[in-house]
């Protein structure tokens, strides 16, 4: 398998030849929060795949739901005015649980195309409002909003910007609130004030009547699990609304119990104008993403954009098998998984906090079952790990050998996002194996 992979599969993010030298790690099976590789090595999956298998592996009821749907109706396009019972019921169930009036849904295949869809919808909205000059977008440094070519310009990770003038000149950024490394310090109120000032300045610079939308993750994931102070997102949302700018929450990672509630926005007491989800929506069993849109935004587009707003769709939008899986996954979340995730999240955070005494640990942060541990060489000076001396790949490899899957971000942050079904013993194993990995890294 390793040879066939070397010969035929492309792994852009793993760097082409480097990946070929090391060879792919092949997973063979998985149950609960444990994955087994092709050589029989068992690991606790501390990252739920790619922060997506929130429900855990091996749920027979999900398999049954998919099989039932495949037998009855494996495909119905959501492209035109066609549909399936599964997709319609899923939309209704999700609208029922979404914050505020986010009652309109558009289903995609994953997170990147959900973000892309919002870019189109934002355009339709301002066109319908008779303000087509509102065509400038703002997002945040260290933010991640997918890797489609347009969405990658909202993403603020330089590796995603090669070619085609990315980010586009209509895609702007403000600094991340990043409490651990914010030049204004770690005080919540000061950080919020600083973000508001930079956003106001950015809006002025672009032109107040030019800004169409602002994008934020409630917790920045791929940028290194950066947790803004509570109240930050509400303050930013309020400023956007004050300036007439659409506010879009990207909950692709934070949705579906990752931080505790079904949606992190609910915890922050905000209703965005649009919200993107994916990952935990189907818990990774099949691909699916979604855009939630408020009734207010929907009505403007539906009434005003007319024929200018019809050119968007995917063959697999509202796929009935994905929808059937999502409906079953939702039942599992509400049948005990959210509750277990809440308990396990408390244990995870307490365990990671106990690593603060380790010489390499500079910061521990997170919410619920989403956490980051930032490694430094000097705690007082917060000196980042030199990327060349301690590449993330080596830490990842050591953790793997110790029976733990985590994400090691290149800037020296370890990422945690275990399945919500984790037992106490599995959480404890995540902590013990992390400490062992850090000790080996120090040695
Ligand atoms: N938005 C956020 C916040 C994400 O974390 C991701 C993926 N990590 C995406 C969008 C893109 O989702 P996908 O990989 O499913 O296209």
Predicted local confidence at residue 207, as pLDDT: 97
* 303 shares its domain with 354: no
User: What is the total count of domains within the chain?
Assistant: 2
Interval between CA 174 and ligand 1 midpoint (Å): 20
- Which residue's CA is the closest to the ligand 1 atom numbered 1? 145
d(CA 308, CA 418): 43
> Which of 224, 274, 278 should be mutated for ligand 1, with most atoms under 8 A from CB?
278
User: Which protein residue has the closest C-alpha to ligand 1 atom 13?
Assistant: 111
Q: Examine the domain organization and report whether 314 and 205 are in the same domain.
A: yes
**How much distance in Å is there from the Cα of 358 to the middle of ligand 1?**
32
Nearest to 312 by CA among 330, 332, 291: 291
- State the average pLDDT over residues 437-441: 95
| pLDDT for res 418 | 98
Ligand 1 centroid, distance to 377 Cα (angstroms)? 30
Distance 151 CA to ligand 1 centre (A): 10
Which of 252, 281, 287 best tests ligand 1's pocket when mutated (most atoms within 8 Å of CB)? 252
Residues 328 and 360 grouped into a single domain: no
Residue from 110, 228, 286 to probe ligand 1 pocket by mutation (most atoms less than 8 Å from CB): 110
Average pLDDT over every residue of 266-270 = 94
- Any idea what the CATH number is for the domain that residue 363 is in? 3.90.1150.10
pLDDT at 442: 86
The Å distance, Cα 292 to ligand 1 centre, comes to 15
Query: Quick one: three-class SS letters along the chain?
Result: CHHHHHHHCCCHHHCHHHHHHHCCCCEEEEEECEEEECCCCEEEECCHHHHCCCCCECCHHHHHHHHHHHHHCCCCCCCCCCCCHHHHHHHHHHHHHCCCCCCEEEEECCHHHHHHHHHHHHHHHHHHCCCCCCCEEEEECCCCCCCCCCHHHCCCCHHHHCCCCCCCCCEEEECCCCHHHCCCCCCHHHHHHHHHHHHHHHHHHHCCCCEEEEEECCCECCCCCECCCCCHHHHHHHHHHHCCCEEEEECCCCCCCCCCCCCHHHHCCCCCCEEEECHHHCCCCCCCEEEEECHHHHHHHHHHCHHHHCCCCCCCCCCHHHHHHHHHHHHHHHHHHHHHHHHHHHHHHHHHHHHHHCCCEEEEEEECCEEEEEEEEECCCCEECCCCCCCHHHHHHHHHHCCEECEEECCCEEEECCCCCCCHHHHHHHHHHHHHHHHHHHC
| Residues 301 and 407 both lie in one domain | no
Q: How far is CA 136 from CA 167, 211, 212, in A?
A: 12, 5, 5
| Those residues with Cβ within 8 angstroms of residue 266's Cβ, 6 or more apart along the chain or in another chain | 99
> Could you tell me the pLDDT band of residue 411, with boundaries at 50, 70 and 90?
confident
Residues 105 and 129 in one domain: yes
Domain hosting 417: range is: 2-58+335-442
* Residue 20 sits in the same domain as residue 123: no
Of all atoms in ligand 1, which is nearest to the CA of residue 112? Answer: 16
Give yes or no: residues 204 and 275 share one domain.
Answer: yes
Q: Supply the pLDDT for residue 389.
A: 61
Quick count: other Cβ atoms within 10 Å of Cβ 388?
A: 6
pLDDT at 18 over 80: no
Give the pLDDT confidence score for residue 308 in this predicted structure: 77
Q: Which residues line ligand 1 (CB under 6 A)?
A: 110-112, 115, 144-146, 217, 221-222, 250, 252-253, 278, 289
Q: What is the pTM of this model?
A: 0.97
152: domain CATH number?
A: 3.40.640.10
Last residue of a domain, one of 306, 332, 358: 332
Domain's final residue, options 301, 332, 363: 332
Nearest partner of 364 among 259, 441, 372, judged by Cα? 372
Write down the mean pLDDT value for the chain: 95
Mean of pLDDT values over 276-284: 98
Q: Indicate if 132 and 51 belong to the same structural domain.
A: no
pLDDT greater at residue 140 or residue 13: 140
Mean pLDDT over 245-256 rounds to 98
What is the crossing angle of helices 111-128 and 295-304, to 10°? 60
Q: Are 189 and 271 members of one domain?
A: yes
pLDDT band, residue 348 (cuts 50/70/90): very high
Q: Are residues 105 and 136 in the same domain?
A: yes
* pLDDT at position 210: 98
Query: Do both 421 and 291 map to the same domain?
Result: no
Interface ipTM > 0.95:
yes
Q: How confident is the model at residue 162 (pLDDT cuts 50, 70, 90)?
A: confident
Nearest residue (CA) to ligand 1, atom 7: 146
Q: What is the pLDDT of residues 89-116, one digit of tens each?
A: 999 999 999 999 999 999 999 999 999 9
Mutate to test the pocket of ligand 1, among 107, 108, 111 (most ligand atoms within 8 A of CB): 111
Q: What is the pLDDT of residues 353-401, one digit of tens each?
A: 999 999 999 999 999 999 999 999 999 999 998 876 667 888 999 999 9
- Distance (angstroms) between ligand 1 centre and the Cα of 204 equals 30
- Residues 369, 326, single domain; the answer is no
Domain boundary among 310, 332, 354: 332
User: What's the confidence (pLDDT) of residue 26?
Assistant: 94
- In this prediction, residues 228-238 reach a mean pLDDT of 98
């Amino acid at each position: 398998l390793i040879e066939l992979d070397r010969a035929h599969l492309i792994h852009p993010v793993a760097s082409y030849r480097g990946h070929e030298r090391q060879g792919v790690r092949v997973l063979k099976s998985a149950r609960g929060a444990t994955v087994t590789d092709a050589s029989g090595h068992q690991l606790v999956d501390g990252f739920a795949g790619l922060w997506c298998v929130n429900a855990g592996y091996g749920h027979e009821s999900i398999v049954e739901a998919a099989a039932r749907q495949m037998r009855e109706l494996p495909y119905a396009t959501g492209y035109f005015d066609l549909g399936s019972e599964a997709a319609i019921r899923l939309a209704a169930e999700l609208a029922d649980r979404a914050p505020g009036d986010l009652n309109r849904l558009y289903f995609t295949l994953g997170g990147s195309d959900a973000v892309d869809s919002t870019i189109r919808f934002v355009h339709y909205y301002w066109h319908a409002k008779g303000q087509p000059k509102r065509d400038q977008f703002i997002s945040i440094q260290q933010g991640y909003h997918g890797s489609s070519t347009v969405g990658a310009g909202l993403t603020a990770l330089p590796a995603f910007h090669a070619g085609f003038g990315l980010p586009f000149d209509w895609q702007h950024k403000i600094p991340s609130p990043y409490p651990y490394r914010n030049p204004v310090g770690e005080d919540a109120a000061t950080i919020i004030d600083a973000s508001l000032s930079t956003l106001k300045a950015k809006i002025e610079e672009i032109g107040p009547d030019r800004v169409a939308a602002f994008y934020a993750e409630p917790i920045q994931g791929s940028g290194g699990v950066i947790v803004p102070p509570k109240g930050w997102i509400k303050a930013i949302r309020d400023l956007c609304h004050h300036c007439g700018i659409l506010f879009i929450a990207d909950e692709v990672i934070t949705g579906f119990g990752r931080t505790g509630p079904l949606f992190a926005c609910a915890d922050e007491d905000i209703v965005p104008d649009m919200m993107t989800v994916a990952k935990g929506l189907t818990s990774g069993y099949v691909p699916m993403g979604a855009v939630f849109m408020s009734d207010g935004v929907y009505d403007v587009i539906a009434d005003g954009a007319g024929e200018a707003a019809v050119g968007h769709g995917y063959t697999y939008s509202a796929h009935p098998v994905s929808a059937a899986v999502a409906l079953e996954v939702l039942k599992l979340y509400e049948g005990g998984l959210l509750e277990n995730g809440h308990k396990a999240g408390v244990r995870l955070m307490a365990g990671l906090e106990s690593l603060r005494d380790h010489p390499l640990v500079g910061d521990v942060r997170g919410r619920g079952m989403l956490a980051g541990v930032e490694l430094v060489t000097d705690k007082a000076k917060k000196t980042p790990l030199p990327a060349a001396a301690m590449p993330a790949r080596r830490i990842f490899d050591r953790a793997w050998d110790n029976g733990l899957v985590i994400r090691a971000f290149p800037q020296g942050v370890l990422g945690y996002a275990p399945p919500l079904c984790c037992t106490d013993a599995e959480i404890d194993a995540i902590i013990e194996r992390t400490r062992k990995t850090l000790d080996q890294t120090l040695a």
